[in-house]
Amino acid sequence: MIKFKFLKLVVDIGNTCTKLALFDKKRLTKHEIIPKLSLEKTIKFCGDNKIESSIFSSVVSLCESDYQIINFFDGLLFNNKTPVPIESNYKSEIGSDRLSAVIGANYLFPNKDIWVFDAGTCLTADFITKDKVHEGGRISPGIEMRYKSLHSFTSKLPSLSLEPNSIFKGNNTNESIISGVQQGILAEVRALISDFRKYNNDFVVVFTGGNASFFEKELKSSIFADQFLVLKGLNEILDYNEKD
């Protein structure tokens, strides 16, 4: 006899791919990245597990087939009207992935002031207090966007991408671009952390996103990195909406 396990399905639809995850209460038991969301792939991912609840989040506009998948699982579609387990002083609508990362960080480090960095297409930095109040932050171009802009907005600079080694100074054009982009974005992060320490020396720095490993390598022990931060945040939002 097949034993079914009751799990929660968490789906994060991004600009370039979709992340699927299964949670057993607070524990992430399975995850997968697929190019595009489809019902067939989602059902296959769930396997023999019984999905007791689900949450879907997207930073792109959803199509009819996406809504059909959400309805199939009777899922919660996370948007700016969805109740969340934190307060926010942000005065405009915030991206679902950005807010989920903040909530995920607050779950991992309760009763701590936290700077949450999401290193993806953009580099976002958000501050949440130990009292669970999101106070906003910063948005700037991510690593690949910086590389692409140098090539797109000039006539002669080459098209480059993230390199494993961040050169301090370049001896040719390519090396100078690598140094400018990678050392530049590192300097931006270091400056934020250093400037904030003048006012508050008791906070945690957490990174997530596609380029989080780059910052983890370069900044070493001064930060925490968690590639599943957004998924964990969405799981917290799902739990919060089911508590009653």
Residues forming the active site: 97
Cross-strand partners of 128 = 114, 134
- Compute the distance between CA of residue 148 and CA of residue 6 in angstroms, rounded to an integer: 44
Residue 241 φ then ψ, to 5°: -80, -10
Q: How crowded is residue 71: how many other Cβ atoms within 10 Å of its Cβ?
A: 10
Amino acid of residue 216? E
- Compute the distance between CA of residue 204 and CA of residue 152 in angstroms, rounded to an integer: 36
CA 226 to chain centroid, in Å, comes to 9
Cα Rg, the chain, nearest whole Å: 19
Question: Residues 52, 4: contact at Cβ < 8 Å?
Answer: no
- Compute the distance between CA of residue 139 and CA of residue 149 in angstroms, rounded to an integer: 16
CA 70 to chain centroid, in Å, comes to 21
Q: How many helices (H) and strands (E) does the chain have?
A: 8, 11
